[in-house]
Amino acid sequence: MIRLCNIYKSLGDFKLKNINLTIEDNEYFVILGPTGTGKTVILEVIAGMYKPDHGEVWLNERNVTEEYPESRHIGFVYQDYMLFPHLNVEENILFALKLKKTPAKIMKEKLERMATLLNINHLLQRYPATLSGGEQQRTAIARALVAEPDVLLLDEPLSALDPRSKEVFQQELKQIHRQIKTTTIHITHDFNEALVLADRMGIMCNGEIVQVGSPEDVFHKPCSQFVATFVGMENIFNGIISDESDARQVRIGPVQLRVASNLLGKVRVAIRSEDIIIAEDKLSSSAQNILPASITEIVPRGPFFKLFLDAGIPLVALVTRQAIDEMRLEPGKNVWAVFKTAAVHVF
């Protein structure tokens, strides 16, 4: 288990502020945030490269705040891998075990296990300069894992890979974690990566962790405008909830929407574009919001299309090519925008 208690660290103009975070045994925790928000600094505080100005770092019920990095049993894979250029893959992986004078037989067994786990058996005699980014990545992870650390820290391990290799390696990382179960913190900018890998995730902004939760929670119930935008929410509005009765409504300009929220007064309202269904006929259901809307623009977006709508408020919906063909959607057409009460997130 990793516990960060009230961590504060000042580095020049940058401040890591008030970090409180508990990561459970065997958990795969992803930290997500834009560049320069302190993601790497958090890992370096956990690993002991930086001592916090205030606060404590606990690893497995041990206060390690004053301990040297070497005694913390942490495996750290850096953003740029940092393999030893003059050592081949095998020597890189076994470097720490050799320093500890591990018996040759045990080193051989561990090397075989790691090389198989990371699929690099064929690379063992190669030097880092001759390896692709992905191969260096695998080698760096093998080198970190061979020491059987209590905690694995991965700083943007997949950022150098192309989209397809990224997807493959994400699945592999998940499987490796299922096998070895080492408590892991993985840093990324990529929300999809977090969705695939994370048991839980934390979102960082300006040196602070602003939301912690399951990927589902963060994705569907962002706690602020920053998080909502960061996870790709497109429909974000100012609203007012004034009604204290059961059938809660939020007013956004000329539009009233049903919501499930205990908040009152001025709020922000967010609706995911993929939660908005487009219908030609007015479906009736009390649990839903149903707005008449006219299509203003249709823009391709990967395998989907973005539909820009005027529903009294500007809405963006995500639809398939099939939906466009079947309903003959085009700019100027009048449709209904339908979404559940639960799709209207208020914060």
Ligand X SMILES: Nc1ncnc2c1ncn2[C@@H]1O[C@H](COP(=O)(O)OP(=O)(O)OP(=O)(O)O)[C@@H](O)[C@H]1O
Rounded to an integer, what distance in angstroms lies between the CA atom of residue 257 and that of residue 336?
Answer: 14
- Smallest distance, ligand X to C-beta of residue 230, A: 13
Question: DSSP character for 246?
Answer: S
Cβ proximity to ligand X: between 39 and 258 the closer is 39
Cβ–Cβ < 8 Å for 248, 268: no
Rounded to an integer, what distance in angstroms lies between the CA atom of residue 91 and that of residue 106?
Answer: 15
Rounded to an integer, what distance in angstroms lies between the CA atom of residue 34 and that of residue 158?
Answer: 16
Rounded to an integer, what distance in angstroms lies between the CA atom of residue 194 and that of residue 215?
Answer: 7
Stretch of 37-45, 62-70, 227-235, 298-306 lying at the interface with Mg ion (CB under 5 A): 37-45
Among the listed residues 37, 40, 170, 188, the single contact to Mg ion using CB under 5 A: 40
Cβ proximity to Mg ion: between 185 and 259 the closer is 185
Angle at 195 between CA 314 and CA 25, to 5 degrees: 140
11 binds, among ligand X, Mg ion, none (CB under 5 to 8 A by kind): ligand X
136 binds, among ligand X, Mg ion, none (CB under 5 to 8 A by kind): none
Rounded to an integer, what distance in angstroms lies between the CA atom of residue 239 and that of residue 259?
Answer: 11
Three-class SS of 86-139: CCCHHHHHHHHHHHCCCCHHHHHHHHHHHHHHCCCHHHCCCCHHHCCHHHHHHH
Cβ proximity to ligand X: between 111 and 231 the closer is 231
Cβ proximity to ligand X: between 15 and 333 the closer is 15
9 binds, among Mg ion, ligand X, none (CB under 5 to 8 A by kind): none
Residue pointed to by tokens 């539009």:
255
Please identify the residue of the shown chain whose CB is closest to the bound Mg ion.
40
213 binds, among ligand X, Mg ion, none (CB under 5 to 8 A by kind): none
- Restricting to residues 174-203, name those near Mg ion by CB under 5 A: none
Total residues contacting Mg ion (rule CB under 5 A)?
A: 1
User: Both tokens of residue 114?
Assistant: 């790691």
Cβ proximity to Mg ion: between 142 and 154 the closer is 154
- Residue ranges that bind ligand X, judged by CB under 6 A: 11-12, 14, 33, 35-41
Cβ–Cβ < 8 Å for 331, 346: no
Rounded to an integer, what distance in angstroms lies between the CA atom of residue 256 and that of residue 249?
Answer: 6
- Smallest distance, ligand X to C-beta of residue 200, A: 19
Cβ proximity to Mg ion: between 40 and 92 the closer is 40
Q: Residue type at 276?
A: I
36 binds, among ligand X, Mg ion, none (CB under 5 to 8 A by kind): ligand X
Residues lying near Mg ion in the complex (CB under 5 A): 40
